[in-house]
Amino acid sequence: MQTSKTYHRRTKKGSIIKVVRERYLRDDIHCGKESCEICVKVDEKYLPKKCCVYLQDESRVNLSKLCPQSHYVLPDLDVLLYQFDVLEDDAFGNNVIILKTVLNEVRDRNISVYAKLKEIENHRHFYVLVNEFHRDLFFERETDEKPNDYIDRLIRISIEWYRKHFQSPKVVLLTSTEQKKKQAKDAGLLCFTFAEYVESLKSSNAIIDKVAQIENAEINSQEAKFLYDEHLSLNVIQAGIKTGKYYQSKLMMNRFNNFEGYVHLILNNEDVRVLIKGRSNLNRAVHDDIVAVELLPESEWSVESDIIVDEEEVENEEVDEIVQVEKKVDVHAAKDEVSKKPTAKVVAIIKRNWRQYCGVLKLKSDKLMKSMIMTSHLFIPAEKRIPFIKIETRQYDVLKGQRIIVAIDSWPRDSKYPKGHYVRALGEIGDKDTENELLLIENDIPHLKFTTAVLNCLPSNPDTWRIPEEEYSKRLDLRDRCICSVDPPGCTDIDDALHCKEIGNGLFEVGVHIADVSYFVKPNTALDKEAASRGTTVYLVDNRIDMIPTVLSSNLCSLIEKKERLTFSVIWIMDAKTAEIKETKFAKSIIKSRAALTYAEAQLRIDSPNLNDDLTVNLRRLNSIAAKLKQKRLQNGALVLANFGELRFVEVESETHDNVMEIESKKLRDTNSMVEEFMLLANISVAEKIYNHFPEFAVLRRHPKPSASNLDELVKAAKAKGFEVSVSNGKELSESLDKAVDPQNAFYNLMLRMITVRCMRKAEYFCTGTLPKNEESLYHFGLAAPIYTHFTSPIRRYADLLVHRQLSHAIEASTIDPSLLSKDKLKKVCDNINTRHNNAQNANRASVELHTLLYIKKSGKALREDGYILYIFKNGIQIFIPRLAYCANYLFQNIKEWDFDDVNSTLFHSKTNCLLKRFDPVTVSLEIVDKSNEYNRGKEKIEVKIINPCIDFESDEQEIKRIKK
């Protein structure tokens, strides 16, 4: 037992409860220096696994000019909170002491800094000194002492103690302000301000720009001219929210218009989308912030703008853009008095959700740069919903052509733009790798390499790995079955395989075999945590970001041809004629795949009458059953939805150029739907099983039925061509969609289905215990399945892994981890997977778009494509180009000449007698315009011109001539 002092602290909680808490002050807390003679290291078995890091004996020698000898640094609270980007940089050096009291404060104020700190503390030798339980370092706060002063006092005490404790290395205090430095100097301590210390570092160039500018609000406030209203204090807001004067919500900015955002409020028990318009009403709120808003009086209500505010436009009118844009909006507002929407203004910001943003520096004219040295620059984020950010940098010449990452520090009242600092550069604009990384970062996709802790969870030598002996006895041996896998070409993570065997009496034994990833990924290991946080494998056009390391995804788990692999099987006994399921069985198994086929190969086998080997016969049987299953499913009202972007960019190796890209559209074969049908069936069977076994905890996937109002858009679109779409239930919807075929327009049906997809809510994972128990909450609308889950792709989806574990317990093949029996934990995991899933889709879409751009660029000239009008806005149209699976926005330059008809959504140009209707065919020319010189968010952009009907006649006279010819 350690000697310990008992110490009582009394605090009063809200009411009249007196809390007495003990605090044991100890004398065995290590100072942190690796080879300290006085301190005794605590036996590692009493420590949590993560924490065994000490400070190196020789540290930061010759790193700083201010303090060339060996020293440790100890940052104060503000430095840690606001300058973390600098500390995080390797150039700042290792060996930093952090007081526990300060660390706790950081955790309470900014959880994301805390999380990042926790991540780097081990390899960077950040030592946390637990001063609050140290006999010599802990003192009670005095009655009239402010919290911040108290923390500063504790810091000074610690430094003083360190000075007495060891002679070398010295401990240097880093403070945020001169004032605090003076205070410390008076006490005789070694102390520098953070800015001067960073400047004195050898490698300061790299990180000096990252030093955040903490505004001293009090000094500035007297003379400055304010652009924004003051935010109300938290007390006022809390009281206001209680009385219903203010509302709390998350601000979402309009993707097309940077001066318009909205919040979702509950007004009169209804979920209302409330507008917030203009810079002063937004009052320094940034996309994703949690804000407090106040509703404006009805007279000031306004209408949601139908216009797309183009970036370039904003740029030109930079000086008084607010006025301009607002005016424009007013023109429209006057027209539709009726459709005014509730409007609000932001009165305070409850929680900032600033992250780091990617983008480019705004270019300045060279003349200006030569005449004087300017360090203040404007940063243009790639995400259009984020305002420009003002940053200080001396590396303008280096950074101007690069994609950079910037963090926001503050947004003072007198500054039009938020202030921030430079974090790091990604690389050249337009470079494919840079752009790829950009879209990964913007979509918040973890794409770093797997850490050693994760890789340690894998079998040490994958090439010699064999299935352990005991597994043969535990598992069902299916090595004699004729099993094969069917996948797209080039697929290395094969997670499903099929077989079909005749067992007499007109019955088939049909099996779906899924890679048993749960055998390798055990719960609560580093590997499992990493996979859970990644949630899904992300597929980009030319890249794949794995959820689990490649060793597993492409080798040990992948069901490679002619190799024995561990699987989880679903086996049905089916009627050969009706495809009716007689019996369902689940088992852990071992298989040996006969062949890994591509869709085309499988199709070829089925179609060639001369082939009659086992494999082919199997495939034919499977195919015929699948056809019956599909028919049944469609009868139940499953929707066949257009999958937008069924295109592949295939890189063709060429000797003359780097890589040439070709577009190849995916061909749908019977075998595609064959595999799909069996996967659906397996998922449904598994869902039923785990739901019966864990009515409260099953992880399922649902797709809610869209409300009729959401489908209005679809009904309208169908009416434009004279079709009726019934939306009362899935079956009718599906049937009426099938009927809506325009013989003159081959893509009409496809476009209609695309609109349907946009109208519907997304399918989501959920834990059954978190939703009310009824059929509706389990229903999967798109598949018309009463219950559904994901089981068949554990290599690339974490949800499947969870389902595997649950199923494994349900069939009593393994014990279950407690985290799978907690609603709260499962809900968290499901929420994360859902977000990751969405992000992955967005990233995929962005990647396709990037490659479309590269494709057009490579072609070297303007492309002429046929397209169709998908949407009509007041000042522009959206054009769908089937060959590229690309939706292009087109804005009219002279919008006043066009008359917009809201009811039929048509645009009419009176001068040329040109009428634009929805779904009309148009011919467009696509060209890459490099606008990075003028501006543009650093992107080369696809410029769209409409050739037929002749809209761009002024700008494109040559084209017209060509058409006339």
Binding stretches for other proteins (CB under 8 A): 1-2, 4, 6, 11, 13, 17-26, 42, 46-48, 50-51, 100, 104, 107-108, 118, 128, 130, 132-133, 815, 817-818
Tell me how far, at minimum, the Cβ of 8 lies from other proteins, in Å: 8
- Residues 6 or more apart in contact with residue 461 via CB below 8 angstroms: none
Judged by beta carbon, residue 1 or residue 319, the one nearer other proteins is: 1
Q: Are 533 and 544 in contact (CB under 8 A)?
A: no
Shortest spacing between CB 78 and other proteins, in angstroms:
18
Pick the closest to residue 519 from 454, 467, 464 (CA basis): 467
Q: Which residues are registered as beta bridge partners of 887?
A: 880
Quote the CA–CA distance of 106 and 129 in Å, as a whole number: 15
Q: Which is nearer to other proteins, 709 or 815 (CB)?
A: 815
Cα(29)–Cα(317) distance, rounded to whole angstroms? 62
Q: Which of 181, 173, 51 is nearest to 102 (CA)?
A: 173
Nearer to other proteins, 11 or 913 (CB): 11
Of 39 and 130, CB closest to other proteins: 130
Smaller CB separation from other proteins, 104 or 893: 104
Nearest CA-CA partner of 485 in 607, 626, 591: 591
Which amino acid is residue 532, in one-letter code? A
Assess contact for 659 and 653: CB atoms under 8 A.
yes
For residues 292 and 242, the answer to whether their CB atoms sit within 8 Å is: no
Residue placing its CB nearer to other proteins in the complex, 29 or 885:
29
Which of residues 2 and 958 has its CB atom nearest to other proteins in the complex? 2
Q: 3-class SS at 602?
A: helix
Q: How many angstroms separate the CA atoms of 812 and 849, rounded?
A: 47
Nearer to other proteins by Cβ, of 126 and 890: the residue is 126
Strands 376-381 and 876-881: unpaired
In the complex with other proteins, the residue whose CB is nearer, 47 or 267, is 47
- Please, what is the minimum distance in Å from the beta carbon of residue 111 to other proteins? 10
CB 350 within 8 A of CB 290: yes
List all residues 6 or more positions away from 819 whose beta carbon is below 8 Å from its beta carbon.
523, 524, 825, 826
878: buried, middle or exposed (CB in 10 Å: 19+, 13-18, 0-12)? middle
Strands (E), 687-798: 699-702, 764-767
Q: Which is nearer to other proteins, 11 or 473 (CB)?
A: 11
Q: How far is the CB of 258 from other proteins (least distance, A)?
A: 37
CB of 234 to other proteins, least distance (A): 15
Rounded alpha-carbon distances, angstroms, from residue 159 to 167, 187, 351: 12, 10, 34
If the CB atoms of residues 2 and 167 are measured against other proteins, the closer one turns out to be 2
Instruction: Please report how close the Cβ of residue 803 comes to other proteins at its closest, in angstroms.
Output: 20
Instruction: Report the nearest approach of other proteins to the CB of residue 132 (Å).
Output: 8
Contacts of 783 (CB under 8 A, 6+ apart): 633, 638, 639, 680, 703
Count CB atoms within 10 A of the CB of residue 337. 9
Measured distance CA(238)–CA(243) in Å, rounded: 9
Which of helix, strand or coil describes residue 773? coil
H or E, element range at 652: strand 647-653
Q: Of 17 and 219, which CB lies nearer to other proteins in the complex structure?
A: 17
- Closest CB 21 distance from other proteins, rounded Å: 6
Residue 623, amino acid: N
Shortest spacing between CB 517 and other proteins, in angstroms: 21
- Of the two residues 816 and 895, which places its CB atom closer to other proteins in the complex? 816
**In whole angstroms, how close is the CB of 25 to other proteins at the nearest point?**
7
Is the omega angle on the peptide bond into residue 169 within 30 degrees of 0, that is, cis?
Answer: yes
Least separation in angstroms between residue 122's CB and other proteins is 10
Q: Where are the beta strands (DSSP E) in 782-861?
A: none
Strands (E), 180-288: 191-193, 246-250, 252-253, 260-267, 270-277
Give the span between the Cα atoms of 500 and 509, in whole angstroms: 6
Q: Please, what is the minimum distance in Å from the beta carbon of residue 5 to other proteins?
A: 9
Closer residue to other proteins in complex, CB, 42/425: 42
Please give, one letter per residue, the 3-state secondary structure of 607-618: HCCCCCCHHHHH
Q: Which among 795, 808, 793, 813 is positioned nearest to 520, based on CA atoms? A: 795
Q: How far is the CB of 121 from other proteins (least distance, A)?
A: 9
Q: Which residue has the tokens 């056809």?
A: 627
957: its two tokens: 């006279």
Nearer to other proteins, 592 or 805 (CB): 805
DSSP category for residue 222 = T
Angle between helical axes of 147-165 and 178-186 (0-180°, round to 10): 50
Residue 23 CB, nearest distance to other proteins (Å)?
Answer: 6
* Residue closer to other proteins, measured from CB, 11 or 505: 11
Radius of gyration (Cα) for the chain, nearest Å? 32
Q: How far is the CB of 15 from other proteins (least distance, A)?
A: 9
DSSP assignment, residue 667?
P
Minimum CB–partner distance for residue 92 and other proteins (Å) = 22
The two three-digit tokens of residue 758, written as one number? 């946009």
Minimum gap (Å) between residue 129 Cβ and other proteins: 9
Q: Closest approach of Cβ 24 to other proteins, in Å?
A: 4
Give dist(CA 604, CA 616) in Å, integer.
10
CA dihedral in degrees (328, 331, 336, 340; nearest 10)? Answer: 50
C-beta closer to other proteins: residue 4 or 844? 4
Of residues 518 and 925, the one with the C-beta less far from other proteins: 518
